[in-house]
Structure 1
């Protein structure tokens, strides 16, 4: 499955990497690709994942990072 997360607060490649690392800790997530220029993250999963967990992982990467929406693509 694939999810698109609209974010706020990503400023650089280091921000992207921090968010990707936290998302990969969520059970079922197989890949995460954050892009600070578009403020989106594409997430690949092996199974359906609770979107709240994905949003929480974005915030866990840093206080200034927020998931505005999480949608199934």
Structure 2
């Protein structure tokens, strides 16, 4: 029994449902490294890759002028444009931004991204 929607036929919906189910089953049964450019030979060391990806430097900076969630979103969006940045956590109440990065970030680059968002960069909090 299939439900009919506007603009589609029951046969079309049945095919769509079948394809979706097949794709889901195929993804669920595949190892997570399959299709990611990792070969079966290097899959044994995949956990090493995960560890290096999760290792990040974290540094906290002060940002002045943030008052709401939209402010935090603006600062986060600008900082995520910096290639080395992996994660950004903004605390509006304390006026701080914690940045996780792969490498040491140039403070001038961070200051520029914060100013692009429309806020004042105040460096490291006291």
Give the TM-score normalised by structure 1: 0.88
1:51–1:70: 8 Å Cα contact kept in structure 2?
no
Which has more helix, going by share of residues?
Answer: 2
Pair 1:44 & 2:80 matched: no
Structure 2 gaps, min length 5: 1-56
Name the structure 2 match of 1:8. Answer: 64
Pair 1:57 & 2:113 matched: yes
Name the structure 2 match of 1:30. Answer: 86
Moved over 6 A (4+): none
The size of the alignment, in residue pairs, is 69
Task: After TM superposition, give the deviation of residue 37 of structure 1 in Å.
Answer: 0.6
If asked which structure has higher relative contact order (CA below 8 Å, sep 6+), I would say 1
| Cα distance in 2, alignment partners of residues 58 and 43 from structure 1 | 12
Name the structure 2 match of 1:69. Answer: 123
Which has more strand, going by share of residues?
Answer: 1
Larger radius of gyration: 2
